[in-house]
Chains A and B, each alone.
Chain A
Amino acid sequence: MTTPDTSAALPFEEHASALERIGSGPRSLGRFLVQKKLGGLGLVIVIFFTVITILSGVVDRYEPDFIFDRDNPGFLANPTIPQLAADPDIGSPRVVDQFIEPSSKHWFGTDKFGRDIYSRVIHGTKLSLIIGFGASLIAVVSGLIIGVVSAYYLGWLDLIIQRAIDAVYAFPFIVLILLIVQIAEPSTRNVVIALGFGGIPFATRLVRSATLSVRGAEYVQAARVIGATDLRIMVRHVLPNIGAVLIIAFSIGIGAFILAEATISFLGAGPRGEISWGKMVSTGRAALDLHPWESVFAGSAITLLVMAFNLLGDAMRDVLDPRLRGR
C-alpha cells in the first residue's frame, strides 16, 4: 500500500507569510514584549482591560446603577413653603449621595445621580472593547474584499470603486456615523456597523496599495500561466501576502473606533442604554468646575485604552512591515 503523496497537493509556491515572521507560541510573545517595550506595555494594558471586562462582576465593588443615598439630617415632615424654597430636599427623609469626592468607599467618587463612578468605569470597558473589535473587523473584512477586487482588476471598475471610496472619505466621518446610527435605533450593534462602514475607506486604501505591489509579482504571473482562476489567485496568492497589512489595519483601527464611539456618545448619539465612557464625560460636564471626577476618570479610561491599542498597533507594524514605519 502506498501512502498518498501529499506534497503534490501543497501549493508549489509556498512563501513565508508575514505571520510566520513574528512566529507563534509563548516564546515569540516573550520576545515581542522584550524587543518592543512600548508595544508590550500596550499589550499588557489591553489584556488588563479585557480581564476587567470578563471579571467586571467581581471587581466592580457595587452595582453600576445602584443609587447611593443617606439619611437627611435636616428632614422635616411638613415643611413650610419658605423652608422648601431654601432647601428643596428638606421634605424627603433620605437624600441622594451625589458628587461624593473619591474616598475609600467610592474610589472614584459618585456621579450626579449618586452612582459609583468606579463601578461605571469598569462596566464601560465592555462597550469600548466590543465597538473597537467589531467595527475594526467589519472595516478590514469589507476593505479586504473591495481593495483586492479593485486593485486586481484595475481599469474602469477600480476607477469607479475608488471614487466611491473617496466620496465616503470626503463625507464628514462623524456626520456619516450620526446619519447611519439614526436610520435604525442606536443599539450597540448598529453603532458597530456604522463605524465599520465609515472605516472602509481607510482599510480599502491600505489593502489596495498592498495588492498593487503584489499583483505584478512573478508567482502571480506563474499562477496565471498555469491557468489558475482569478478567485484562486486572489485567495491563495494575494491574500497570504497582504496579511501583514490586514493585521496592521485591524489593530490600528481598534483605537480609532473606540475614540469615534466615545465622540458620538459624548454628542448624545451613542448606543442607548449602555454605559459608555464618552457619555460619562458628557454627563460629568454638568458640574465640571466643582465636581470634575466623572469626566476625569472616564476620559482617562478612554485615553489609556486607545493609547494601548495604538502602541500595540505601532509595534506590530514595525515587526510585520518595517517599510510602513512612521506612516
Chain B
Amino acid sequence: MQQYIIRRAVLNVFVLFIVATMVFFAVQVLPGNFATQQFASANLGGVTPESIARAESVLGLDKPVVAQYGTFLWDLVQFDLGESFRSKRSVWSELGRAVPYSMELGFLIVLVGFSIAIPVGILSAVHQDKLPDYVLRGGAIFALAAPVFWTASIAVIFVLKWDLFKIDVTGQPHLWENPQTALQWYLIPMFAGGIAGTATTMRLLRSQMLEVLRQDYVVTARAKGLRERTIIMRHALRNAWLPVLTVMGLTIATIIGSQIVLEQMFNIPGVGRLLFQSIFLRDTPLLEGLVLVVAFVVVFTNLFVDVLYGLLDPRVRLA
C-alpha cells in the first residue's frame, strides 16, 4: 500500500513536470506577450518598439527561451511560482485569494451533484422500466447534453423575471463572511454545475444498483422478510456505491471545466476566472502557476480516490 502510494506520487510529480513544460512552451508559441498585449489593450499613443522592448527586458521576456525555461524549472523545484506580471504580487498570494472561492463553489457543486445523483440513481434502479425511471433517466440525458452556461442563463432569466432573489455579483463575499448574500450569488452556478455533473454519477449508480439487486444475498435478505428499505440501504447500496466513488476522480476534471465558465459568468474571482484572464493578458507566471495547481488537484484527487477505493473495498488489491 505504502509502496503503491509512493510510486503513484512519484509518477504524479513526473506528470506535473510534463504539464509545466507543456504550459511553458504553449505560452512561448502564443503570438504576443504581456508587454505587447498591455500596449495593445491600453491603445496608447506613442508606443514605440523601444518602449515594448524596455518592458520586455524588465519582465525578463527578452532572454533566450532555454534560459527562461531553466529559470522557470529552477524556481519551480523551490516552489517559487514567481510574481504576476499584472498585479506584481506573488503567484502564491494570488492563489491564496482565488483558491478559497473556487473551493467553495467546487464543494457546493459536488454537494448538489451527489445529493441529486444518489437518491435519483437509487429511485431509478428500484423502479426500473417504470414511469419514475423513465422520467429520471430522461432528466439525466438532458442534464448531460445541456451546456452549463445555457442552464445558468435560463435560471438567471427566471430569477430576474419573477424577482426571486437578488444576485449580487459585485460584493464577492465568502460563505463565512456573509452567508446569505454569498449563497444567493453561488446558488445558480452551484446548481448548474451540480446538475451537469450529476448525470454520469446517477447513471453509473443506477446500473450498479441493478446489478447488485439481482445478487443472491439480496434475494436472501428478501426471503428473510426484511423491509425493502433495509434491503436497499443496507444490502444493495453499500455494495453499489463503491464503483461510483471512482467516477469522482473523473468528474473533478469536468467540474473544474464548468467552473471556469461559471466563474466567468458570475464574476466569481476564483481560479477559473483568473486562468481565463491570464491567458488573454499573457500573464505567463500566473497562468503557469494556475495550470499547475489545477493539474495538481486533478492528479492527486485521482490518487486519493484510488487509495480510498483500496481501503474501503478489501477485495481491491492495489499494485
Contacts and interface: CB of A to CB of B under 8 A. Distances in A.
Contact of B295 (A171, A285, A295, A304): A171
11 contacts: A171-B22, A172-B260, A172-B291, A173-B257, A174-B261, A175-B291, A289-B156, A292-B157, A303-B146, A310-B144, A326-B204
Contacts of B29: 183
Interface of B: 11, 14-16, 18-19, 22-23, 26-27, 29-31, 141-142, 144-147, 149-150, 153-154, 156-157, 160-161, 203-204, 206-208, 253, 256-257, 260-261, 264, 275-276, 279, 291, 294-295, 298-299
B308 to A, nearest CB: 19
Interface in A49-96: none
Given A163-B11, A266-B147, A175 B260 contact: yes
Nearest to A159: B11
A310 B145 contact: yes
A249 to B, nearest CB: 15
The B interface, classified by DSSP as helix, strand, loop or mixed, is helix
A138 interface: no
B154 A299 contact: yes
Interface of A: 38, 163-164, 166-175, 178-180, 182-183, 255, 259, 262-263, 266-267, 278, 281-282, 284-285, 288-289, 292, 295-296, 299, 302-304, 306-307, 310-311, 325-327
Contacts of B27: 179
A169 B150 contact: no
B220 to A, nearest CB: 25
Contacts of B19: 167, 170-171
Contacts of B264: 267
Contacts of A163: 11, 14-15, 18
A170 B21 CA distance: 13
Contact of B31 (A164, A172, A174, A183): A183
Contact of A166 (B15, B146, B156, B203): B15
A244 B147 CA distance: 28
A167 B294 CA distance: 11
Most chain B Cβ neighbours within 10 Å, of A175, A179, A304: A175
Contact of B145 (A281, A285, A288, A306): A306
Given A169-B253, A326-B206, A289 B146 contact: no
Given A267-B264, A302-B145, 14 more contacts: A38-B141, A170-B19, A170-B294, A171-B19, A171-B291, A173-B253, A179-B23, A266-B149, A295-B150, A296-B157, A299-B146, A299-B147, A306-B146, A326-B204
A238 to B, nearest CB: 25
Contacts of A262: 147, 149
A255 to B, nearest CB: 7
Contacts of A267: 261, 264, 276
Most chain B Cβ neighbours within 10 Å, of A172, A289, A327: A172
Given A163-B14, A302-B150, A327 B157 contact: no
Nearest to A182: B30
Contacts of B23: 171, 179
Contacts of A325: 207
A326 B203 contact: yes
Contacts of B256: 172
A167 B22 contact: yes
Most chain B Cβ neighbours within 10 Å, of A170, A171, A267: A170
Given A171-B291, A183-B26, A326-B206, A303 B147 contact: yes
A281 B160 contact: no
A216 B150 CA distance: 47
Given A172-B291, A180-B26, A296-B154, A167 B257 contact: no
Contact of B147 (A296, A302, A326): A302
A311 B141 contact: yes
A164 B16 CA distance: 10
A306 B147 CA distance: 9
A288 B147 contact: no
Contacts of A302: 145-147, 150
Given A266-B261, A327-B204, A183 B30 contact: yes
Contacts of A304: 145
A167 B15 CA distance: 5
B149 to A, nearest CB: 5
Contacts of A282: 149
Contacts of B154: 292, 295-296, 299
Contacts of A178: 276, 279
Contact of A303 (B145, B206, B261): B145
B154 to A, nearest CB: 7
